[in-house]
């Protein structure tokens, strides 16, 4: 079993939970109670390999994204940074998240290039109210050595599913992930870290 840990980042209302719930359930639910950090988990198979996927979905309303970010940077094998294409502020926020991930990883001497990050422009169905051009999203991703995709959690399942599958493949192909897996396999230390950082709250969708 491959354990893969992904952190979802982005401003309040960008659609982080909607994107995740779409991937996990194929459905768009519309409104989500979001007053706490959540850790979702799901078992799936990618290229014939069994994956135990854990996704950290922070509550943006806590207003403490900086400290929320510190631990996931050490914890996550990959990131999905979501913004809303009809909200420029959310794009600027995504930019600042990427900068913070980079700084935090530089502090821990891990660099940015070795961790898969997907920049996701959500709410593509609202393109009539677009405030962020697709090229801007693509350039931001390129500048930061990230992958890029626009999606609509409201309308797409396939694109979102492909995105997570691609992320999982990149994580599994990452030498750092493979080294960490060897180091942590059979160890209780990661489970302990997760409980310390995120509390015991876990969700299955
Ligand atoms: N039109 C449209 N609305 C969306 C889409 N994705 C999410 N929404 C709506 O945007 C709002 C916020 O979605 P959430 O998934 O709760 O956003 P979030 O980023 O998790 O927000 P926080 O939990 O507050 O951090 C909800 O009203 C969703 O229904 C989308 O693709 N298109």
pLDDT tens-digit map of 124-158: 999 999 999 999 999 999 999 999 999 999 999 99
Backbone angles phi, psi at 159, to 5 degrees: -60, -40
65 touches ligand 1 (CB under 6 Å): no
Cα separation of 202 and 195, whole Å?
9
**Three-class SS state of 156:** coil
Atom of ligand 1 nearest to the CA of 61: 24
- Rounded distance from Cα 174 to ligand 1 centre (Å): 30
Backbone angles phi, psi at 16, to 5 degrees: -60, -50
What is this structure's pTM?
0.85
The ipTM is 0.98
What value does the mean pLDDT of the chain take?
82
pLDDT tens-digit map of 21-44: 999 999 998 777 666 778 899 999
In order of their start, the domains of the chain are: 3-179 (3.40.50.300)
Q: Among 32, 59, 65, 158, which is best to mutate for testing ligand 1, by the most ligand atoms less than 8 A from CB?
A: 32
| Residue 33: burial class (beta carbons within 10 Å; 0-12, 13-18, 19+) | exposed
CB 54 within 8 A of CB 6: yes
CB 112 within 8 A of CB 102: yes
pLDDT tens-digit map of 164-205: 999 999 999 877 776 666 555 433 333 444 444 444 444 555
153 touches ligand 1 (CB under 6 Å): yes
Closest CA to 193 of 56, 79, 60, 64: 56
Record the tokens describing residue 4, joined without a space: 């893969």
Ligand 1 atom 29, closest CA: 30
Question: Tokens 């492909």 — which residue?
Answer: 162
pLDDT tens-digit map of 48-92: 999 999 999 887 665 544 445 556 677 889 999 999 999 999 999
- Rounded distance from Cα 126 to ligand 1 centre (Å): 12
22 touches ligand 1 (CB under 6 Å): no
């Amino acid at each position: 079993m491959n354990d893969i840990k992904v952190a979802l980042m982005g401003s309040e209302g960008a659609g982080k939970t909607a994107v995740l719930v779409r991937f996990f359930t194929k459905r768009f639910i519309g409104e989500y109670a979001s007053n706490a950090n959540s850790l979702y988990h799901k078992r799936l198979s990618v290229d014939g390999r069994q994956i135990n996927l854990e996704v950290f979905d922070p509550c943006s309303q806590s207003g403490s994204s900086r400290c929320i970010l510190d631990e996931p940077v050490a914890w996550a094998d990959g990131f999905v940074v979501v913004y809303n294409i009809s909200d420029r502020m959310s794009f600027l926020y995504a930019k600042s998240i990427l900068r913070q991930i980079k700084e935090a990883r530089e502090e821990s001497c891990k660099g940015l290039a070795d961790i898969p990050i997907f920049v996701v422009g959500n709410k593509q169905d609202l393109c009539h109210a677009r405030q962020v051009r697709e090229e801007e999203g693509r350039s931001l991703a390129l500048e930061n050595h990230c992958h890029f995709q626009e999606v609509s959690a409201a309308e797409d399942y396939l694109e979102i599913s492909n995105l997570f599958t691609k992320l999982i493949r990149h994580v599994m192909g990452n030498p750092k992930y493979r080294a960490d897996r060897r180091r942590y396999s059979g160890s209780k230390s990661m489970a302990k870290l997760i409980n310390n950082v995120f509390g015991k709250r876990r969700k299955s969708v």
